[in-house]
Amino acid sequence: MSEGDEEWSLAFSVSVNAPNLKLYASDFLSGTGDEFTHPISARHRMVETLTVFDDVLIPWADVFFVDRPDLATETALGFVEFHRFTAVSYKLPLLDAMVGAGLAVARANGTDGAGHVRDKLTWLVGYAESVRGLCHLAALRSDVEGGVACPDVLTTNLAKWVFARDFHGAVERLQDLAGGLLVTGPGGRDWRAQEVRPVLEKYLAAAWPGQDRIAVMNLISELTTRSYGGYQAVLAMQAEGSVEAEKIALWRAYEPTRALRYAQTLGGWQEDAGGHHAGLGR
Amino acid sequence: MSEGDEEWSLAFSVSVNAPNLKLYASDFLSGTGDEFTHPISARHRMVETLTVFDDVLIPWADVFFVDRPDLATETALGFVEFHRFTAVSYKLPLLDAMVGAGLAVARANGTDGAGHVRDKLTWLVGYAESVRGLCHLAALRSDVEGGVACPDVLTTNLAKWVFARDFHGAVERLQDLAGGLLVTGPGGRDWRAQEVRPVLEKYLAAAWPGQDRIAVMNLISELTTRSYGGYQAVLAMQAEGSVEAEKIALWRAYEPTRALRYAQTLGGWQEDAGGHHAGLGR
Amino acid sequence: MSEGDEEWSLAFSVSVNAPNLKLYASDFLSGTGDEFTHPISARHRMVETLTVFDDVLIPWADVFFVDRPDLATETALGFVEFHRFTAVSYKLPLLDAMVGAGLAVARANGTDGAGHVRDKLTWLVGYAESVRGLCHLAALRSDVEGGVACPDVLTTNLAKWVFARDFHGAVERLQDLAGGLLVTGPGGRDWRAQEVRPVLEKYLAAAWPGQDRIAVMNLISELTTRSYGGYQAVLAMQAEGSVEAEKIALWRAYEPTRALRYAQTLGGWQEDAGGHHAGLGR
Amino acid sequence: MSEGDEEWSLAFSVSVNAPNLKLYASDFLSGTGDEFTHPISARHRMVETLTVFDDVLIPWADVFFVDRPDLATETALGFVEFHRFTAVSYKLPLLDAMVGAGLAVARANGTDGAGHVRDKLTWLVGYAESVRGLCHLAALRSDVEGGVACPDVLTTNLAKWVFARDFHGAVERLQDLAGGLLVTGPGGRDWRAQEVRPVLEKYLAAAWPGQDRIAVMNLISELTTRSYGGYQAVLAMQAEGSVEAEKIALWRAYEPTRALRYAQTLGGWQEDAGGHHAGLGR
């Protein structure tokens, strides 16, 4: 925002039930799935909306500023930088669920001794713990300003970049570990039907009893093959800044002087080669 | 199958409605979605089943063989080798749909001129056309035996390996190209509601009118974020042989003599080093 | 080239020893390595040059055209399109050498039975054979014009794209399969020294005798860790068009109509959405 | 080491010049390159050896223990766990050199404004800073035992795993950013020759003068295409434990209880499914 953007340079708080504030909710979880096949989304409903301000009155007491392009950018970045830390923090339980479900399905299928299974589980562990580690480090590297801890911007963006970059690789490995039963398995009504249940229990058992194995499969389906999983995958790429926006933030947060100086010391070129060494023209 | 496996060494044909043949259908597409948000699965229903032979009578006229371990392996491989060619052939329209939806969403969003968008679209094209090319080549390299064209085994497995290995990368790029609207967009009832539709059309338009842009989004959601997309992703990894089975088939179909001889000529080691050069102990 | 580029729009043939044609050769293989540690480059010398025309006389008989911007682009593309087919064809022996060396080192180390070793070897096979298959297909899909077979442009570019995209992954796997001996092993003078050789043979033997195992290591070092390998890696990325140029060529060669139409049929958007459906604005 | 391994269960210190201790040095940097084309290795010599104890006397004062299988494993792991922290710490300057050289070559070539160049530079930054961050975190998470800080084992292994897994991707991007001049450029004798130098300076200049641009190229060649670069690439995969050993260490250091419990809470299977839930049978 710069001069000329006065009209758009405002910030305020607003109650979600303010008159004329309209929320058009998405459809992605419009039905309530069976708890058997949708162990998460049948109990926990996520809502995304198109939010429209259709002549909403904001009392002056709730206005932070108006007509102030000079404050707008700083405010937007201030929000984003905190929010990215939130964004990656709240993913850690999702990653734990994926790692735990991967470990469990390998045991349930009786394949946990196979080399390629171990390899995929190790990758899942490495992925989840890298994200957790970088998130933790972003907090440890905080600046405390006026009693508020501000997570380190570069490290926060690293954590989010690693999370987003490798999420689909984690989905792929989970589906690989689980097997086709993810999408060929029974629904809840069949499972509860007296005449069907014993057949399913007989044929769907492996190293674990059918009931427990199917419970693991349904969790992995929820996380990777149904609407809830699709929602999480899109969130990984797009929420709290898209992957491309994330890369820009990472690039901006990086201070290149150390690397440039060290390379120059090794390579021996002149500091002012091309006359534009000093800054890195970002 | 070898001696001792007589009891399991049989092959026959059977009608899907034979008495006592039971098919326990999966739940993955149990509801019929709205045509607006489910443009494929609302019209085309895929069924996967757990198939149980519960005292089914097979007339002798339908039996190919019984008690013949010597025929069983050849028959199973014969099936698989043809079926893998089918398996990759029928994926080509899915890949075209993904490429076409990617091209369309970039235009609908007005981002088709951005370098990173072009890069992702090129990757999608390269992926889809590599699979198509290798599938085509498997047919061109067929052996015709007794009037039946047998697709080349190595090339068929290459095509399927490339397809499965990179499928989740294609899903990731499509979701990246499309944006968060994949999971925040409206459902069919909202879209059809007279008082809501104009608002959605106003705010969801971009380079294309809202209606067309949302139609592209719904196709990509169907292909990547909802049950139908999850089904396709699991199929990519697991159907007609899992990725790990695919690797074994690829390894077995490869004739290493040329590569080994050439490397040996360059490197100059003895042909019988270790006394086990001749074969490659697969 | 377009109007105004007359001065640069010329084509001719020239003898490499024409007076005043100067070739400044690169340094990358300036020394002659020992045949023991450099089994390829000690016998085969590659030369790259900076070529300078310093007042070279081109007889009119050798000039194809001059001052013809209208011919220049077509001529350049004509060269590149043929040359890219050459470029990928001549890589096939390199890929065979890499696959053969990988198979051999796994046997020499006695690790060929390990699951992760098999997995890496299978990847190498899949990579090499995908490139070979697509190269073969580019020839099979040739147009024959005036007695000259023109390899299919899209398929040629696919082959080269796959080759370049995954080359460093092949280097990584070969180094992984071989082990640290690639850079800790003895030189030729030590190997030939009477008092040293028996010690080296004793401690460097594994499943193969020391001499044969070291010969495999030296081949892999030549292909991946020394100047010749570095040269090949840069060629993979940069020669006959860089990877980025390759992507542009792939994008241009792709005809998107089928994919766009099929996606539109599935998704149901209007053909003239945004008024720019017809072409794909490349 | 367990009972029966007494003979191999010993630890001691030894001076590198002890009588009869023989070091057979590798050949990988046997020649001394020109400083112009080998800015690092011409000044800094790395030595790797095959070390043979050929009747070496170890005074009892230098022996830590002998015939103690019960101490051997703990000692080996104690060494490795510290050494892996060293191993990843000493890589940070290498990664800085790679990032700095990448930034410099983009400027020297005048391509630093291109989108795909920015994308590759951002990846390099993300890679280098992820490794640095995890290494830093391993120190912050240390246990201090008896005045000695022991870096956290899981985090140390994460840092090393990320470093090794993505190193070849960094090499690929650097070579992509630099261009073919990496292997087609002049040697030191040509560069110093009075009659050749002006020609090279004229034609090899881009956004930076020829001399500075070639200095950057030579540094990148040293890091990625010549013996020193090959040495670093093999070290990345093999030193201080191979990548496969690294994965085993990562797996062992991971405590799965939290992930398993959380997944089970979400999925609702029985804790003792299969009777072997409690531990994770590593």
Distance (Å, rounded) from C-alpha C185 to C-alpha D24? 9
Fold of D79-251: Butyryl-CoA Dehydrogenase, subunit A; domain 3 (1.20.140)
Chain B residues with CB under 8 Å of D116 CB are 115-116, 119
Residues B7, B13, B17, B19, Cα dihedral to 10°: -40
To the nearest whole number, what is the mean pLDDT of chain D? 92
Residue B161 has pLDDT above 60, yes or no: yes
pLDDT of residue B246: 92
CB contact under 8 A, C107 and B137: no
* DSSP track, B144-193: EETTEEE--HHHHHHHHHHHHHHHHHHHHHHHHHH-THHHHSPPHHHHH-
Q: Which residues contact A60 (CB under 8 A, 6 or more apart)?
A: none
Return the DSSP state at B271.
T
Which site among A26, A54, A200 would you substitute to test the B interface, given the most B Cβ atoms closer than 10 Å to its Cβ? A26
- Are C48 and C26 in contact by the 8 Å Cβ rule? The answer is yes
Report the chain C residue with the minimal C-alpha distance to residue D225: C230
CB contact under 8 A, A24 and B234: no
The angle at the Cα of B187, spanning B184 to B189, to the nearest 5 degrees, equals: 150
pLDDT of residue A42: 87
Residue B277 has pLDDT above 50, yes or no: no
pLDDT of residue A281: 41
Please state, for a pLDDT cut of 90, what percent of chain B lies above it: 78
Residue B124 has pLDDT above 80, yes or no: yes
pLDDT of residue B31: 54
CB contact under 8 A, B218 and C267: yes
Q: Which residues contact C121 (CB under 8 A, 6 or more apart)?
A: B251, C99, C102, C103, C106, C112, C177
- Are D129 and A259 in contact by the 8 Å Cβ rule? The answer is no
Report the chain B residue with the minimal C-alpha distance to residue C271: B212
Chain D residues with CB under 8 Å of B115 CB are 114-116
Which amino acid does the sequence have at B142? S
Cα–Cα nearest to B171, from A228, A95, A225: A225
Cα–Cα nearest to B130, from C159, C129, C169: C159
- Are A281 and D112 in contact by the 8 Å Cβ rule? The answer is yes
Q: Where are the domains of chain C?
A: 6-255
The backbone torsions φ and ψ at residue D212, rounded to the nearest 5 degrees and listed phi first, read -75, -40
- Are B91 and B83 in contact by the 8 Å Cβ rule? The answer is no
The SS3 of residue B7 is helix
CB contact under 8 A, B190 and A116: no
Cα–Cα nearest to C122, from B168, B161, D154: B161
Distance (Å, rounded) from C-alpha D97 to C-alpha D104? 10
Domain B6-62+70-250, architecture per CATH = Up-down Bundle (1.20)
Q: What CATH code is assigned to A6-242? A: 1.20.140.10
- Are D186 and D210 in contact by the 8 Å Cβ rule? The answer is no
CB contact under 8 A, A114 and C115: yes
Query: Going by DSSP bridges, is the β-strand pair B21-25/B143-145 parallel, antiparallel, or unpaired?
Result: unpaired
Which site among C111, C112, C116, C123 would you substitute to test the A interface, given the most A Cβ atoms closer than 10 Å to its Cβ? C116
Cα–Cα nearest to C185, from C61, C36, C27, C8: C36
Helix D210-224, helix C227-238: angle, nearest 10: 110
Task: Report the neighbours of C using a cutoff of 3 or more CB pairs below 8 angstroms.
Answer: A, B, D
Distance (Å, rounded) from C-alpha D140 to C-alpha A139? 12
Q: Nearest Cβ partner of B133 from C134, C250, C270? A: C134
Q: Nearest Cβ partner of B96 from C134, C218, C258? A: C258
- Are B37 and B188 in contact by the 8 Å Cβ rule? The answer is yes
Averaged over B105-115, what is the pLDDT? 96
Chain A residues with CB under 8 Å of D40 CB are 266
Q: Nearest Cβ partner of C186 from D26, D203, D221? A: D26
CB count within 10 Å of CB A206 equals 17
Q: Say how far residue D16 (Cα) sits from the centre of its chain.
A: 24
pLDDT of residue C277: 46
Tell me the shortest Cα–Cα distance from B114 to chain D, in angstroms: 9
Distance (Å, rounded) from C-alpha B88 to C-alpha B133? 11
Tell me the shortest Cα–Cα distance from A141 to chain B, in angstroms: 30
Task: Name the pTM for this structure.
Answer: 0.95
Chain B residues with CB under 8 Å of A237 CB are 172, 175-176
Q: Which residues contact A113 (CB under 8 A, 6 or more apart)?
A: none
Alpha-carbon separation of residue D183 from A140, C233, D189, D190, D232 (angstroms) = 44, 10, 16, 15, 18
- Interface confidence, given as ipTM, is 0.93
pLDDT of residue A282: 38
Residue C278 has pLDDT above 50, yes or no: no
Averaged over A250-278, what is the pLDDT? 86
pLDDT digits (tens, 9 = 90+) for D162-201: 999 999 999 999 999 999 999 999 989 999 999 999 999 9
CB contact under 8 A, D40 and A266: yes
Distance (Å, rounded) from C-alpha A268 to C-alpha A277? 14
Tell me the shortest Cα–Cα distance from A121 to chain C, in angstroms: 14
Report the chain D residue with the minimal C-alpha distance to residue B115: D115
Chain B residues with CB under 8 Å of C130 CB are 130, 134, 158, 162
What's the token pair of residue D76? 């080996």
Residue D277 has pLDDT above 80, yes or no: no
C6-255 under CATH 1.20.140.10, yes or no: yes
- Are D161 and D91 in contact by the 8 Å Cβ rule? The answer is no
- Are B98 and B124 in contact by the 8 Å Cβ rule? The answer is yes
- Residue C35: half-sphere exposure toward Cβ, Cα within 13 Å: 5
Which site among A45, A172, A174 would you substitute to test the B interface, given the most B Cβ atoms closer than 10 Å to its Cβ? A172
Averaged over B161-179, what is the pLDDT? 98
Return the DSSP state at B31.
S
Q: Which long-range contacts (CB under 8 A, 24 or more apart) does A111-114 make?
A: A111/A177, A112/D281, A114/C115
CB contact under 8 A, B259 and C97: yes
- Are C248 and B200 in contact by the 8 Å Cβ rule? The answer is no
The SS3 of residue D100 is helix
Which residue's entry shows tokens 């060396």?
C101
SS3 content of chain A, % helix, strand, coil (to 5): 60, 10, 35
Chain B residues with CB under 8 Å of A221 CB are 28, 230
Tell me the shortest Cα–Cα distance from C50 to chain D, in angstroms: 7
* DSSP track, B53-91: ESS----GGGEEEES-HHHHHHHHHHHHHHHHHHHHHTT
Which amino acid does the sequence have at A115? G
Averaged over B145-151, what is the pLDDT? 91
Tell me the shortest Cα–Cα distance from A271 to chain B, in angstroms: 31
CB contact under 8 A, A176 and B243: yes
Alpha-carbon separation of residue A254 from A28, A158, B65, C215, D129 (angstroms) = 37, 10, 69, 45, 9
Distance (Å, rounded) from C-alpha B79 to C-alpha B73? 10
pLDDT digits (tens, 9 = 90+) for D69-100: 999 988 888 888 888 999 999 999 999 999 99
A interface with C, Cβ–Cβ < 8 A, is: 114-116, 119
Cα–Cα nearest to D173, from D222, D114, D227, D101: D101
Q: Which residues of C126-150 are buried (b: 16+ CB within 10 A; e: fewer)?
A: bbbbbbbbbbbbbeebbeeeeeeeb
Residue A279 has pLDDT above 60, yes or no: no
Which site among B111, B112, B116, B120 would you substitute to test the D interface, given the most D Cβ atoms closer than 10 Å to its Cβ? B116
CB contact under 8 A, D176 and C243: yes
CB contact under 8 A, B274 and C209: yes
Distance (Å, rounded) from C-alpha A138 to C-alpha A141? 5
Report the chain B residue with the minimal C-alpha distance to residue A225: B230
pLDDT category at A213 given cuts 50, 70, 90 is very high
* Residue D51, H or E segment: strand D49-53
Chain D residues with CB under 8 Å of B116 CB are 115-116, 119
Residue C280 has pLDDT above 50, yes or no: no
- Are D3 and D41 in contact by the 8 Å Cβ rule? The answer is no
pLDDT digits (tens, 9 = 90+) for B42-69: 888 888 999 999 999 999 999 999 999 9
Residue D275 has pLDDT above 90, yes or no: no
Distance (Å, rounded) from C-alpha B150 to C-alpha B133? 17
- Are C225 and C175 in contact by the 8 Å Cβ rule? The answer is yes
Which amino acid does the sequence have at D251? W
Q: Which residues contact D216 (CB under 8 A, 6 or more apart)?
A: A263, A267, A269, D101, D104, D105, D108, D178, D208
Residue B281 has pLDDT above 50, yes or no: no
Chain D residues with CB under 8 Å of B119 CB are 116, 119
